[in-house]
Amino acid sequence: MANAPKPTTPVKNEKAGTSSIFAVLVIPICFIVAVLIFMFVLGDASHYKGGDIEHGEPNDYFGTVHRGGPIVPVLMTMFMMLIVFSIERFVVIGKAAGTSSVDSFVKKIQALLNQGNIDAASAECDKQKGSVANVIKSGLKKYKEMEQEPNLDVDQKTLAIQKDIEEATALEMPMLEQNLTIIATLVSIGTLLGLLGTVTGMIRAFAALGASGAPSQSALAVGISEALINTALGISTSALSIIMYNLFTSKIDKLTYAIDETGFSLVQTFAASHKNK
């Protein structure tokens, strides 16, 4: 028996492979860019009093961030990764939703199903495009196939349509969820690395005070402020990661609900219109 989603599998695998390559390339590129910014922008002598990077005090925010130490470019890498992957997810999920509102699309399909106009519903899927439309169109194809199938009863045909929709959904969902694990990982790693940078900065500050033999409150305050830069960067990255992760998961849940709702209407329509046949 023909299965509509199977021919699309190589396409989906190709898209997944492209997304994986994108992730592999983004991480080292972000790190290289972060190191270059740390060395040549934040570490420029103009950000230090007297142009003395080693011993001079920072005279602006860039110099203070630079004093955060080697953890700073790592945190900057994570922040840039968050921005890049967020933009990538916005594009992918936006395309998956289709050319118009998902809610209006679902209402149109349900109205056409109630009228029994399967061809018009399929044409509407072609106009909408995206993951939701792909899944529904696959179910509509199976719907028409089952109408011509003489060897199955109504319950078996209904089950075949439902299974086809589930298989099509299983092919579409991984593409939507890909790279979300990276954003979720940044939530915890950002804070932890920020705290690590703070701890190492505090160790350096107190070690310098101990070596000088003459404790200075101003020197200690400067050391602590430099160390806390790492905490600020780490927490900022984690907070934004949480916001973006929740935003994307809510968008994916909305698409999943639309698929489930329309798929249920499709199955129920078939069962109701063929129960006496």
pLDDT for position 202:
83
Tens digit of each residue's pLDDT, the chain (277 residues) = 344 344 444 445 556 566 678 888 999 999 999 999 999 999 999 988 888 887 778 888 898 888 888 899 999 999 999 999 999 999 999 999 999 999 999 999 989 988 889 999 999 999 999 999 999 999 999 999 998 888 888 899 999 999 999 999 998 888 888 889 999 999 989 999 999 988 887 887 777 777 766 656 666 766 777 788 889 999 999 999 999 999 999 999 999 999 999 999 999 998 888 776 5
pLDDT for position 30:
96
SS3 percent helix, strand, coil of the chain, rounded to 5, is 85, 0, 15
- Rounded to whole angstroms, how far apart are CA atoms 8 and 11? 5
B/e letters for 128-161, b = 16+ CB within 10 Å, e = fewer, are: bbbbbbbbbbbbbbbbebbeeeeeeebeebbebb
Axis-axis angle for helices 217-274, 71-97 (nearest 10): 20
pLDDT for position 5:
40
| Amino acid code (one letter) for 71 | I
Which residue has 């695998």 as its token pair? 13
Radius of gyration of the chain, Cα coordinates, nearest whole angstrom: 28
What sign does the dihedral 156-161-164-165 (CA atoms) show? negative
Contacts of 130 (CB under 8 A, 6+ apart): 95, 96, 97, 98, 99
- Rounded to whole angstroms, how far apart are CA atoms 141 and 164? 9
Domain ranges of the chain: 6-274
C-beta separation of 111 from 269 below 8 A = no
C-beta separation of 1 from 164 below 8 A = no
pLDDT for position 6:
43
- What is the biggest distance separating any 2 CA atoms in the chain, rounded to whole angstroms? 96
pLDDT for position 1:
39
What is the enclosing helix (H) or strand (E) of 277? none
C-beta separation of 105 from 265 below 8 A = no
Nearest to 131 by CA among 91, 103, 94: 94
